[in-house]
């Protein structure tokens, strides 16, 4: 992300507050939006009262000139609408959205989100990593995301000839062999989150693996390195 504009946080619940805690001491200018005016009592940062899924509110928050938007609303319908409207108003904005249900992940991606976290703490850590890794005028989001101490998600691309290529989840039995789990597969523009025993991994896929630090290391040693 190039910091050419400010950052917008939609929703000031537990997730939004954790993000603001990170952003407060950062070089980013940010605006927080929430429909409950009481949550903004005794705060000294820029904020706006209103529904984050409302186009007029998004325009008032400066979505057209924002670099980054974090959608931390509690209702997935609002998350989808806010993402869709924001993407239409600003095709260049980077959008990280919180999915309150895993069933909504694909819909939120289709609405235009760049990153979707199905767990609130995952989404918060994505932004934390982005802020922590700012270098000069550019920032990046790492592919590895720590859920809580010792538990991580990492993404891996499956190349032709990989031991994982053409293997089903049942055949691999990663949970039984190592203890880690494949929780998602990116296949072109398709994001697969309903992982079943018969789901087969293909060359070109990007898989998301969750496990402890030790399990992730063993996975790398067996299947990546």
In the 3-class helix/strand/coil scheme, how is 126-176 assigned residue by residue? HHHHHHHCCECCECCCCCCEEEECCEEEEEEECCCCCCCCCCEHHHHCHHH
Question: What would the pLDDT profile of 127-140 be if each residue is shown by its tens digit?
Answer: 555 444 443 444 44
Mean pLDDT over 9-37 rounds to 89
Which residue's entry shows tokens 């938007």? Answer: 69
Please check the confidence at residue 198 and state whether its pLDDT lies above 50.
yes
Please check the confidence at residue 166 and state whether its pLDDT lies above 90.
yes
Higher pLDDT, 153 or 164: 164
- Reported pTM: 0.56
Query: What's CA 142's distance to the chain center, in Å?
Result: 11
> 205: Cβ–Cβ under 8 A, 6 or more apart, which residues?
157, 158, 185, 186, 187
4: three-class secondary structure by DSSP:
coil
Question: What would the pLDDT profile of 207-216 be if each residue is shown by its tens digit?
Answer: 888 777 788 8
Task: For residue 179, give Cα distances in angstroms to 17, 119, 156.
Answer: 33, 20, 17
Please check the confidence at residue 70 and state whether its pLDDT lies above 90.
yes
10: its two tokens = 């939609």
Range name among 7-11, 56-60, 109-113 with the lowest pLDDT average: 109-113
Strand pairing category for 181-187 and 206-212? antiparallel
Higher pLDDT, 139 or 80: 80
CA atoms of 90 and 126, how far apart (whole Å) = 21
Check residue 134 and give its pLDDT.
43
Phi/psi at 51 (nearest 5 deg)? -80, 120
Please check the confidence at residue 123 and state whether its pLDDT lies above 50.
no
Closest among 189, 190, 185 to 202, alpha carbons compared: 185
> 35: Cβ–Cβ under 8 A, 6 or more apart, which residues?
49, 50, 51, 52
CA atoms of 21 and 54, how far apart (whole Å) = 25
Report which DSSP code applies to 103: G
Higher pLDDT, 88 or 148: 88
Mean pLDDT over 4-21 rounds to 87
Mean pLDDT over 96-111 rounds to 85
Q: Read off the pLDDT band of 125 (50, 70, 90).
A: low
198: its two tokens = 């018969």
Check residue 136 and give its pLDDT.
41
Please check the confidence at residue 124 and state whether its pLDDT lies above 60.
no
Range name among 61-65, 139-143, 162-166 with the lowest pLDDT average: 139-143
Mean pLDDT over 20-43 rounds to 90
Are residues 139 and 27 in contact, defined by beta-carbon separation less than 8 angstroms?
no
């Amino acid at each position: 992300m190039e910091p050419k504009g400010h950052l917008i946080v939609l929703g000031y619940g537990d997730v939004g507050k954790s993000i603001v805690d990170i952003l407060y001491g950062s070089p980013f200018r940010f605006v927080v939006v929430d429909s409950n005016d009481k949550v903004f009592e005794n705060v000294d940062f820029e904020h706006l009262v209103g529904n984050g899924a409302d186009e007029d509110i998004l325009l008032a928050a400066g979505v057209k000139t924002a670099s980054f938007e974090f959608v931390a609303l509690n209702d997935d319908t609002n998350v989808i609408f806010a993402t869709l409207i924001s993407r239409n108003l600003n095709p260049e904005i980077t959008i990280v959205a919180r999915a309150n249900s895993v069933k909504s992940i694909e819909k939120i991606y289709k609405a235009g989100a760049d990153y979707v976290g199905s767990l609130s703490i995952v989404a918060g850590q994505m932004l934390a990593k982005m802020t922590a890794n700012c270098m000069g005028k550019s920032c990046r989001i790492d592919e590895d995301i720590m859920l809580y101490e010792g538990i991580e998600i990492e993404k891996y691309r499956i190349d032709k000839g990989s031991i994982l290529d053409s293997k089903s989840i049942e055949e691999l039995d990663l949970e039984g062999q190592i203890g880690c789990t494949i929780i998602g597969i990116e296949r072109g523009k398709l994001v697969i989150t309903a992982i079943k025993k018969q789901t087969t991994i293909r060359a070109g896929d990007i898989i998301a693996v969750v496990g402890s630090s030790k399990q992730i290391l063993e996975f790398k040693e067996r299947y990546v390195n």
